[in-house]
Chain A
Amino acid sequence: MTLSDTRSPLLRISSLTKRFGGFTALHDVSVDIRPGERFGLIGPNGSGKTTLINCISGAFRTEPGTVLFRDEDIALLQPHVRTRRGIARSFQIPRPFRSMTVAENLMVALDFAAHEHVSAAQRRDSMMSILDQMGLGPKANVSATQLSQVELRKMELARAMATHPKLLISDEAMAGLSSSEVDEVLDLLLSLASRDITIIMIEHIMQAVMRFSERVMCLDAGRIIAIGSPSEVMADQRVQEAYLGT
């Protein structure tokens, strides 16, 4: 956090530690995410990126450490409550509701996380507009099991969007995609960001991170080793070591 920033942060993580038995997955992590920021999270495999996401979205309980979201401590809230407060996420390995169509997948989000009471027709409209925006319009009534990899990624993002998030966490949404598909997803994320949604993007594909992020943080072995502008972080000695594995 820079002193010049007067707005309070959207998400403030302070002194977060997470242990599994004897293994410390996160060690004293503190970071602030500003409203509307495009934030990149990188680090080698097993560095604690997904653990951090799980702590923010509520899949793991955290103690010690606090997680403040819009000035409210959410560390003890269940995941679905956090979703309703405005934290949405996609999964590293897509987790669609397999017995449903694409449209129904989104309807779950609209049914349970929509903030205000809206009519069924309005929900349908809102669902279709999200799907169109994601380029999934024609697939609305297709079973989730019949989607291609890139379509699954897009559907995950669409489902997250349907919860009307303030903060969207994209967990390696581009892994395993072709370069043209990577660009497609990246454009989608950029267009979402342009509509005042804060986005944390976890990614291994460096060009994507560089192009997308305003700020990048690098984790290694559960600790923050660098944080700053993309070029600063890329130039950091320790980041290069962590990635080259010296």
Chain B
Amino acid sequence: MTRNSIAFWTGSTVFLVAVFVMTQVVGNQYPFFAGYVILQFIALAVAWSILGGYAGYVNFGTSAFFGVGVYAAVFLVKAFGAPLPLQILAGAAIGALMGFALGLLTLRMQGIFFSIATIALTIIIETTITNWRYVGGAAGIQIQRPAVTAPFDNYVQMLFFVQALLVVLAVAISRYIQNSWIGRGLQALRDDELAAECTGVPTLRLKLLACVISGALMCAVGAPAAMYLQYADPASAFNLNYSVTTLAMSLIGGTAHWSGPIIGAILLGTTQQLLTVTISSEVNVLVLGLMLVLFVVGAPEGIIGLIRKLRGDRKEGEV
């Protein structure tokens, strides 16, 4: 292991231990509820960036993957009373299949055509779920949580910890991809797809791989949301907000490095949670709009880009 990897895994372990200790010590429930939402968005943004950031294929279907994850869990709970880990695994498997299908169907399309195809796919899937009476259809469905397993004494605390695990998993995968030949290949095809092909990069296969991994992670992240809300309806589960917010977080953080989406998600997620309990009105939407415009205009490479620039300037100054 390189020094970087050691630092990363130490950091991840410290993070997970801290999260676990928090679930055992903190009695107040609110940090877990709010924290869960932020963790969920971190995982989504990181997963999204694998295709959207590294490969430059803007997926508008985040809500489709998230919603399918939610409904995979709903179905499993209703049909078999499946436990949470199984819900997440099944979500990941379905997400991978969905990513594969989406990829086969659309990855030959360039740029914005792919994005539009993902919008279309989202609407098709949402309509299908809306027409599926078994999981409640348009009317939605209420689900009961099972008893919580030790060592947690509250279900939301457990979900918080599980989501933290998913975050670490997503980040580890994203980081691995970035540092491996896969990441280099994705970066190459993002810069120039034909040149990448002619340099030996199997662009279609790499894009498919990115689509499958990204999709599996997004679905897995969606699965526990069913238990978090104890309710699911198509309009909420497939809300366009998931797609836009995830995109915004990744771009605000910067997509050039795996830590960009994390920074973006923490910044925007926290801001949104704070706004919900402070200003709490249409100004919320306004802030999201303004942040998007200002960051995209003022910091095109995101916060990561800003940091790199500052560092670069300093280095030059020293020389």
Contact = CB atoms under 8 A, between A and B. Distances in A.
Direct contact of A and B (CB under 8 A): yes
Interface of A: 57-59, 78-81, 83-84, 88-89, 91, 95-100, 104, 107-109, 111-113, 159-160, 163
Interface string B168-204: 0000000000000100110110111011111111111
Contacts of A58: 197-198
Given A108-B184, A111-B184, A112-B181, A163 B256 contact: no
B305 to A, nearest CB: 11
A91 B256 CA distance: 26
B82 to A, nearest CB: 41
B187 A88 contact: no
Q: What 7 pairs between A and B have smallest CB-CB spacing?
A: A113-B200, A112-B200, A95-B195, A79-B197, A97-B191, A83-B200, A111-B181
Contacts of B201: 80, 108, 112
A104 B184 contact: yes
Nearest to B202: A80
B104 to A, nearest CB: 15
A58 B194 CA distance: 10
A78 B191 contact: no
A97 B192 contact: yes
Interface residues of B, number: 20
Nearest to A89: B198
B294 to A, nearest CB: 23
A112 B199 contact: yes
Contact of A107 (B184, B195, B203): B184
Interface of B: 181, 184-185, 187-188, 190-192, 194-204, 256
Nearest to A169: B198
Contact of A88 (B184, B198, B204): B198
Contacts of A159: 199
Nearest to A57: B198
B253 to A, nearest CB: 17
A24 B195 CA distance: 25
Contacts of B198: 57-59, 79-80, 83, 88-89, 91
B204 A78 contact: yes
A159 B200 CA distance: 11
A194 to B, nearest CB: 24
Contacts of B190: 99
21 contacts: A57-B198, A59-B197, A79-B197, A80-B197, A80-B198, A80-B201, A81-B202, A91-B195, A95-B192, A95-B194, A95-B195, A96-B192, A97-B192, A99-B256, A108-B185, A108-B188, A108-B196, A112-B185, A112-B199, A163-B199, A163-B200
A111 B191 contact: no
Contact of A97 (B181, B195, B204): B195
A109 B194 contact: no
B190 to A, nearest CB: 7
B187 A112 contact: no
A134 B180 CA distance: 27
Contacts of B181: 111-112
